[in-house]
Structure 1
Amino acid sequence: MRNLESTPKIYVGTYSQYNNGSLFGKWFDLTDYSDLKEFLRDCHEFHRNELDPELMFQDWENIPDFLISECSLHKEAFTYFEAIGEMDDETAEAFEIYCKQINYWPSNGYELDDQLDGFRESYRGFFGGSMKDPKLEYAYQYVEETGLLSGVPSALEKYFDYEAFARDLFLEGYSEYEGHVFTDY
């Protein structure tokens, strides 16, 4: 994992104890486990005082909502954490946005590798720089990278409407979420 502040953790109690007015449980650091089976085995061991403990995830930190609910953790969660552990914070944030708001993983049925491939094809970068308008900042970069105005006399180039061009780019073909830009195709 990247650091202690971004470590995925779950506070695990049981429904039986909760229904009896107790919040007894324990915080489990998911970086201590290699997979879901190992994590659940440790949770059941911690709650071994109950005959058949029904685990309740009462709180969690640094786990996207699409991977967890009150009673389950997605089987691909550990693979997801491993993948984002290899990314810088900005890219990991963008991948979470991609999974949550663009390509709806894991409910889309894709394997994580396929989701990562789609993300790499779609993600254009973070544009939250000095312009304060990610769409406009991306439009400037797009024009420069594609050479859209190459060959245009510099006297005419200054009349190019970057704001209108940015608006049109993001009407069809591109999306922006919290400064992160993605292609829509």
Structure 2
Amino acid sequence: MRNLENAPKIYVGTYGQYNSGSLFGKWFDLTEYADLKEFLQDCHEFHRNEFDPELMFQDWENIPDFLISECSLHKEAFAYFEAICEIDDETAEAFEIYCKQINYWPSNGYELEDQLESFRESYRGFFGGSMKDPELEYAYQYIEETGLLSGVPSMLEKYFDYEAFARDLFMEEYSEYEGHVFADY
């Protein structure tokens, strides 16, 4: 993981304990495990006082909701953690948004590498800077990068409606989530 404060953790109890009125369990730091199998083995070892413990994930930190529920951790969770470990925090945040709100991974059936490739093609960057309007900020960058107004006399350029252009861009071709901009294709 990037640092200890961002480490994925799960508080694991059991349904048997919970139904008996106990919240007995333990916080498990997932960075200490190579894969899901090793993690689950350790959880069962911790709860070995029960005959057949039915694990209950009572709380978690730094794990996207699309990878965990009260009773299961997705088999691709460790691959996901490894992948985001290799990218900066801002891009990791964008990838989580992409998986959760745009391309619905892992339920879309993509392999993680395919999801990452699709994300790289779609992601345009974070635009939460000084303008305070990510769509407008992206529109300015888009116009500059594409040279859309190059060759237009500066006298006419000042009449260009950047707000309307940004609105049109984000009606059909782009989406913005929490300052992150994605191409819609």
* CA distance in 1 between partners of 2:79 and 2:180 (Å): 23
Q: What is the count of residue pairs matched by the alignment? A: 185
Output aligned runs, 1:34-183, within 5 Å: 34-183=34-183
| Pair 1:18-2:13 in alignment | no
Q: Please state whether the residue corresponding to 2:128 is helix, strand or coil.
A: coil
* CA distance in 1 between partners of 2:101 and 2:111 (Å): 17
Q: Please state whether the residue corresponding to 1:170 is helix, strand or coil.
A: helix
In structure 1, runs of 5+ residues without a counterpart are none
Q: Please state whether the residue corresponding to 2:27 is helix, strand or coil.
A: strand
Shift of 1:6: 0.8
Structure 1 length normalisation: TM-score? 0.99
Q: Please state whether the residue corresponding to 1:56 is helix, strand or coil.
A: strand
Equivalent residue, structure 1, for 2:4: 4
Q: Please state whether the residue corresponding to 2:74 is helix, strand or coil.
A: coil
Alignment root-mean-square deviation, CA: 0.4
Structure 2 length normalisation: TM-score? 0.99
Q: Please state whether the residue corresponding to 1:28 is helix, strand or coil.
A: strand
In structure 2, runs of 5+ residues without a counterpart are none
Percent of pairs with identical residues: 89
* CA distance in 1 between partners of 2:2 and 2:95 (Å): 15
Output aligned runs, 1:28-39, within 5 Å: 28-39=28-39
Shift of 1:3: 1.1
One-letter identity of the residue aligned with 2:99: C
One-letter identity of the residue aligned with 2:46: F
Q: Please state whether the residue corresponding to 2:43 is helix, strand or coil.
A: helix
One-letter identity of the residue aligned with 1:101: Q
One-letter identity of the residue aligned with 1:121: E
Q: Please state whether the residue corresponding to 1:45 is helix, strand or coil.
A: helix
* CA distance in 2 between partners of 1:112 and 1:155 (Å): 50
